[in-house]
Chain A
Amino acid sequence: MSTGINSEKVLEVKGLSKQYKKGVYASQGVTFDVHKGEIFALIGPNGAGKTTTIRMISTLLKATEGDAIVDGHSILTEPDKVRKAITYLPDEAGAYKSMTGIAYLEFMAGIYSDNKEQIKEYVQRASEISELGERLKDKIGTYSRGMIRKLLLARAMMPKPALAILDEPTSGLDIINALDIRRMIKKLAAQGMSFLLSSHNMLEIEFVSDRVGIIAKGHLLEVGTAEELKEKYQTKNLEEVFEKVVTR
């Protein structure tokens, strides 16, 4: 449980829907909120609508119904301001292989700020978060999957966003790298950063998140802490809760 949570809402999702064709919804009427310093996790099976919901909040896809307010800005009417308030780490994302780690961080810092001092500060912070040390001077093409994920996570954290959106942050990583990243997320949340995660990994979610939203068939079916949900469904773990919710 993150200790930095307060009542201030960083994200308010209100009836968010995405319709690709008439009557065909990728997500429908999704409503939840994320507080400052909170780690909120969306869990669901493949094709449940997690990524679509996350992409709408990240302003990558346009919502067909509903709205989401990020740090006081609507994704529909103020997408530019929303993009300044968030960072997004896509599932299985890569980085520019011909760049060195440090050049990549400098490039991305330049996207988030025009101020040289601030860029320097961002890069410094990202270098520390990534824990990649001297390897930052090497080309990304030589990095392992875990190193790339750490670099990308550091990139997502460096501008200290109001909300960091991480899609499957540890997918495909070995246990050690996955644990490192989970600890990193918890540490930053404790410092007041808010997170919206998506994952298939129930153990990870139970360990890292403050609250969980279970999404299936495009609908958000349950929201609560892992303890609340386990109690409600009389189960020992979140995995069993998930099974009961999505098959009911």
Chain B
Amino acid sequence: MKFVNLYKKELREMITPTTILILVLMYVGMTMMGSFMGDAVDKTIKDSSKIVICDQDNTEFTKSVIELMKKPAGGDSENEVKLVDIQSEDYASELDRLDISDVVIIPKGFTDEVEQGKTAGFIYVDKLTSLSTMANMSTGSSMAKNLIEISVTSALYGKKVAAGQLTTDEIKQLEVPVEITEKTVVSKNTEDIASQMVVSLKTMENMFLPIIVFLLIVYSSQMVLGAVSTEKIDKTLETLLSAPVSRMAVLSSKMLAAGTVAALYAVVMMFSMGNLRNAVPTGDNNYEEQLKALGLTLSGADYIFIGMQMFVSILIALAVALVLGVLAKDAKSGQSLLLPIQMMSMVPYMLSMFVDIRTLDPLPIRFLIYAIPFTHTFMSSENLMFGHWGLYWAGLAYQLVLLVVCMGFAIHVFTSDKIFTLSLGNGKKKKGGLFGKKNVIDESDQ
């Protein structure tokens, strides 16, 4: 009985309205993210049945291969095969002209090579628009590579095995029937490298930048929120604000100190992550050159652009944290109040890892995610690498406007009575104690 009473008491203390709010927000947030990701997976599955082919050889054999692609043997599903005409080797322009993201090119002479017992070559061109996981799942055209290989092997078996004996060259040809030349297009640049290889090489970098952004936002806001709430609860803030020092000086010193520590963290983390990345061998130094040629490496200027968005994000987080810190009634509520900032950074962080936010459907959801100021910072490195400058500048402009609004509000709170009268659940009127009258309150005399 004693234990049950104790257990009930502990539960009552732990399950507060704030705890319930946190649980509800977590449930809603995760469900929403799951829904967004589900939509992205659906789109990928639909895309996986779309094959884009450029048949430059145009023989009975290649036509039969394409027929096989439409309805692969042993499969129940049918693929949508789109035939296109690639007119030049400027693949970036050709993909743009045809409004496609990838294509399998069967070059002229492909059938002849097969018939002459040579390893036949074809080209696979893939345009990368994002480094997120879902955006780079297998497409129909990448599947077509395997189907071509199966078709050629099947044709060879049919012909050679039926003829009786296989020569050594023919066995070799059966082992490696086709040779694929893979090309990756990014913006206007094309390189002879498989898109999956590009994604693999960039995964590490693609992961560590969002981690830094996430940690910096959460950590710096936690510092300011803690500093303000502790000072308010301990009443050291009252002591300071009644001393001959301007409120703006108190406010800006807090923000600057949090910003300085956050910047210190950023620098140390950037170097640490950089070392971690460098420690992982890429195997072939040529890859680095190819990534550079594709525009997928960040220059010094790019880091400045990313740093600008990161800095503005941190300032927004600090301004919001400052107001939230003022709302805190005690240390426990102070920690709970951090949740909105954590959620606002968690959602775009997770989404940017898995989906290409630019293509999120439906449109209102995409704009809802864009409305979270930190989203633009999580997207900044991709925006720069893939040349989405419009999105970068629009994001930065939005962040700056929001910063002015948040900072203005924080300054208003800090320089007005609200710094002392504002707190969560303070909307109810106090009845003036034992002798009080309903129309007389002292919000601060607690």
Interface residues, chain A, with chain B CB atoms under 8 Å away: 20, 23-28, 45-52, 55, 58-62, 80, 83-84, 86-96, 108, 111-112, 152, 155, 165, 216-218, 246-247
Contacts and interface: CB of A to CB of B under 8 A. Distances in A.
A45 B436 contact: yes
B442 A51 contact: yes
Contact of B445 (A48, A58, A59, A93): A48
Secondary structure at the A interface, as helix, strand, loop or mixed, is: mixed
Interface residues of B, number: 33
B238 to A, nearest CB: 4
Most buried by B among A59, A61, A86, A95: A61
Given A62-B416, A87-B242, 8 more contacts: A24-B429, A25-B441, A46-B433, A59-B242, A93-B236, A108-B239, A217-B432, A247-B435
Given A49-B445, A52-B442, A90 B435 contact: no
B421 A20 contact: yes
Contacts of A94: 234-236
Contact of B441 (A26, A62, A152, A247): A26
Contact of A83 (B242, B416, B442): B242
Contact of B433 (A47, A58, A165): A47
15 contacts: A45-B434, A46-B433, A46-B446, A47-B432, A48-B442, A49-B442, A50-B445, A52-B445, A55-B420, A58-B238, A62-B417, A93-B236, A94-B234, A95-B234, A111-B243
A48 B240 CA distance: 25
Contacts of A55: 238, 420, 444
Nearest to B234: A94
Secondary structure at the B interface, as helix, strand, loop or mixed, is: loop
B434 A46 contact: yes
B245 interface: yes
A47 B441 contact: yes
A45 B444 CA distance: 14
A165 B439 CA distance: 27
Contacts of A48: 432-433, 435-436, 442, 445
A51 B441 CA distance: 11
A17 to B, nearest CB: 11
A63 to B, nearest CB: 10
Contact of A24 (B246, B420, B440): B440
Contact of B239 (A20, A88, A246): A88
A226 to B, nearest CB: 20
A108 B243 contact: yes
B257 to A, nearest CB: 13
Most buried by A among B240, B246, B436: B436
Contacts of B440: 24-26, 28, 47, 49, 217-218
Most buried by B among A47, A60, A92, A247: A47
A55 B417 CA distance: 10
A72 B236 CA distance: 27
A94 B421 CA distance: 19
Interface string B98-140: 0000000000000000000000000000000000000000000
Contacts of A80: 244, 246
B241 A60 contact: yes
B442 A26 contact: yes
A218 B439 CA distance: 10
Contacts of B437: 217
B443 interface: yes
Contacts of A216: 435
A217 B435 contact: yes
B444 A51 contact: yes
A203 to B, nearest CB: 19
A61 B235 contact: no
B238 A45 contact: no
B430 interface: yes
Nearest to B250: A111
Nearest to B249: A111
Contacts of B442: 26-27, 47-52, 218
B236 to A, nearest CB: 6
Sort A-B residue pairs by CB-CB distance and give the 9 closest, nearest first.
A94-B234, A46-B433, A51-B445, A88-B242, A47-B433, A93-B235, A90-B235, A47-B432, A58-B242
Contacts of B441: 20, 24-26, 47
A72 B441 CA distance: 30
Nearest to A216: B435
A59 B417 CA distance: 10
Given A47-B430, A47-B441, A95 B435 contact: no
Interface in B391-446: 416-417, 420-421, 429-437, 439-446
Contacts of B239: 88-90, 93, 108, 152, 155
